Amino acid sequence: MNPALIKVMLVDDHPMVQDGLSACLSFYDDIAIVGNCGDGSAVLETAKQCQPNVILMDISMPKLNGLEATEIITESMDSAKVLIFSMHESAEFVTNAVQAGASGYILKDTNSEEVYQAIKSIAQGKSYFSSSIAKMLIDNPPAQANARLTAREQMILSYIAKGQSSKDIAQTLTISIRTVEAHRRNIKSKLNLDSLAELVRYAVNQGLIDS
Amino acid sequence: MNPALIKVMLVDDHPMVQDGLSACLSFYDDIAIVGNCGDGSAVLETAKQCQPNVILMDISMPKLNGLEATEIITESMDSAKVLIFSMHESAEFVTNAVQAGASGYILKDTNSEEVYQAIKSIAQGKSYFSSSIAKMLIDNPPAQANARLTAREQMILSYIAKGQSSKDIAQTLTISIRTVEAHRRNIKSKLNLDSLAELVRYAVNQGLIDS
DNA sequence: CGGAATGTCGGTAGTAGTACGGATTGTACT
DNA sequence: AGTACAATCCGTACTACTACCGACATTCCG
């Protein structure tokens, strides 16, 4: 086995994106695609079979989302580095990804050359972030990196995103409206989001809701 | 010029998807990629330069969305057929696309062989829909096809989904709050949705917002 | 021409959510 | 034992949104 060969595994639920990446990366002879996976829930199994050096991972996937999958991988396989491949350009996404153990974060609107560079960096143990990501982290430093919601807050948020009012949620969970409102405030404060609309979009993007 | 050559133009805001499609379709020698466009607002101009037979169009894009772009194209260029390339598998979405003048609708989780078949069909003047789409249309016939929002309503809805209040929207568009509220009511009534959360999810699913 | 749809605007009353304040329990970690 | 956090609850005043009613101008189509 060529020691300089970087074994890459793709995790994305869009075959076209997989095909595209495979095609683009096949031009580089120091990279080998050793596995594909269309769903986060099969990531660990596939990774153990393929033993990749780098896992190129989409965040938004059905069933298990990319952040959870990343957490599982980084906790159980030291050899595999995770490179997030996302279309979301928001500080929370990036910080969450880093907390989950990702080594890098690139956007889907980057070209194949940059994807190649990112994979090389990650394989060498370095980290890599899209330039626009780096710029955003400088402009908008992750002041509260601890923006993760508690289980209760996630539950409340999912009801909110489903369209239930605070009153409805209070009745469903048999707690006071004031409690629900307090959770609302805490969630918005933690996520630094002002409007209900942004909450809903966050919930949808996080996969807290079927949508 | 080879008369059997099908000229294809891509419209997608993700370079990786563009690269992937280009790479996959380059295997077929009766297809030529004659243009790329990363944004709906430049579609018409690019199409006039490239004179494509088939336009492969993503729906969710910043600025001008795919449905509006499709409408513009089909109204001003007879020669170009539009094939929608979407990740959304919902009945309203498909019917809206057809109403906008699209000749076909395939999902992003189809493989490159099916994309090729779809392009061929479209170029011959036929229509093409992913098999799962066809099945869905049979199982779930578009009961209220008349749920289509006007351009103004789509605009209002996109602002709502971005998190703006009626007051904000009124100021942005320099109209009265009451008008915005009236649009809100009409939109909810048309879509048969009660809550703001459902509106936001609808907007996100329809690709009216970057998200 | 007549009707339908669209986009515009208003009153009034009621409901929902927000922004300030607080407070009490329990659990969990040091 | 003490601190930190999660989860629960309350008062008050304010803002935003909703539901009902209405109106008028324009445009498009049969």
pLDDT tens digits for range B91-146:
667 777 777 788 889 887 787 888 999 999 999 988 899 888 877 766 655 544 44
> Is the CB atom of residue B184 positioned under 7 angstroms from any atom of strand D?
yes
CB neighbours of A70 closer than 8 A, spacing ≥ 6?
Answer: A57, A82, A84, A97, A100, A101, A102
The nucleotide minimizing the C1' distance to residue B185's CA is D18
**The pTM is what?**
0.63
Model confidence pLDDT, tens digit, residues A143-200: 444 457 788 888 899 999 999 999 999 988 899 999 999 999 999 988 888 889 998 9
Smallest Cα distance from A75 to chain B, Å = 29
Of the candidates B15, B108, B162, the beta carbon closest to that of A197 is on B162
CA of A2 to C1' of D18 (A): 67
Question: What is the overall mean pLDDT for chain B?
Answer: 81
Long-range contacts formed by B39-44: CB under 8 A, 24+ apart: B39/B13, B39/B63, B39/B64, B40/B11, B40/B64, B40/B65, B40/B66, B40/B68, B40/B69, B41/B69, B43/B11, B43/B69, B43/B72, B43/B73, B44/B69, B44/B72, B44/B73, B44/B76, B44/B77
- In angstroms, the separation between the Cα of residue B66 and the nearest Cα of chain A is 17
- From B87, B165, B194, residue closest to A163, measured CB to CB: B194
Chain B contact set for A162 (CB, 8 A): 197
Residue B211: which of A196, A205, A209 has the nearest Cβ? Answer: A205
For position A145, what pLDDT does the model report?
A: 40
What is Dmax (Cα atoms) for chain A?
63
- Evaluate whether A86 touches A206 at the Cβ level (below 8 Å): no
Residues from chain A that touch B36, judged by Cβ atoms under 8 A, are none
* Rounded Cα–Cα distance for residues B70 and B59 (Å): 9
- Which tokens hold the place of A23? 């095609």
**CB-facing half-sphere around the CA of A138: CA atoms within 13 A:** 7
pLDDT of B146 reads 40
Q: Which nucleotide is nearest to B167 (CA to C1')?
A: D16
Q: What span, in angstroms and rounded, lies between the C-alpha atoms of B81 and B89? A: 21
Give the closest nucleotide to B174 (alpha carbon vs C1'): C8
Chain B CB contacts of A109 below 8 Å: 13-16, 38
Q: Are A99 and A145 in contact (CB under 8 A)?
A: yes
Burial B26-58 (b: 16+ CB within 10 A, else e): eebeebbbbbbbbebeebbebbeebebbbbbbb
Strands A6-11 and A81-86, sheet pairing: unpaired
Contact A153, A145 (CB under 8 A): no
A62-115 residue pLDDT tens: 556 676 778 788 877 878 899 988 877 766 677 777 777 888 999 877 888 889
